[in-house]
Amino acid sequence: MRVMVSPLVDMIRKREAKVCVVGLGYVGLPLGMAFAEAGFPVTGLDIDKRKIDKIAKGESYIKHIPSEPLAKLSTEGKLKATTDFAKAAEMDCIVICVPTPLTASREPDM
């Protein structure tokens, strides 16, 4: 029996699928970096222009994420960021990372 593989699954297996991460906060930024480090081209979308500018400069704005790996991914063009949400139409996979407030003990505040 021959199993058909969808074009998207094939692109994912080959690390050719263009990944979009919506929301570049404490979940979205490290997730985008992980996809980029795994070999996927990643575009991050956020409404905060300051975050986009920091990523372009290779500067982390999240305490537990060092700037060095972010700078490498940005410089190599593996991780890009923009406020232009129309770019989502060009992506193959979109991951939405919505804000989750944390308690003082860093637990999700539902």
pLDDT digits (tens, 9 = 90+) for 36-86: 999 999 999 999 999 999 999 999 999 999 999 999 999 999 999 999 999
Question: What pLDDT, on a 0 to 100 scale, did the predictor assign at position 96?
Answer: 94
- Residue 41 near residue 50, CB atoms below 8 Å: no
pLDDT digits (tens, 9 = 90+) for 98-109: 777 778 887 877
**Domains of the chain listed by start with CATH number:** 7-96 (3.40.50.720)
Question: What pLDDT, on a 0 to 100 scale, did the predictor assign at position 5?
Answer: 74
Question: What pLDDT, on a 0 to 100 scale, did the predictor assign at position 25?
Answer: 93
Q: Quick one: average pLDDT of 5-24? A: 94
Which pTM does this prediction carry?
Answer: 0.85
Q: Quick one: average pLDDT of 6-11? A: 93
Q: Quick one: average pLDDT of 81-98? A: 96
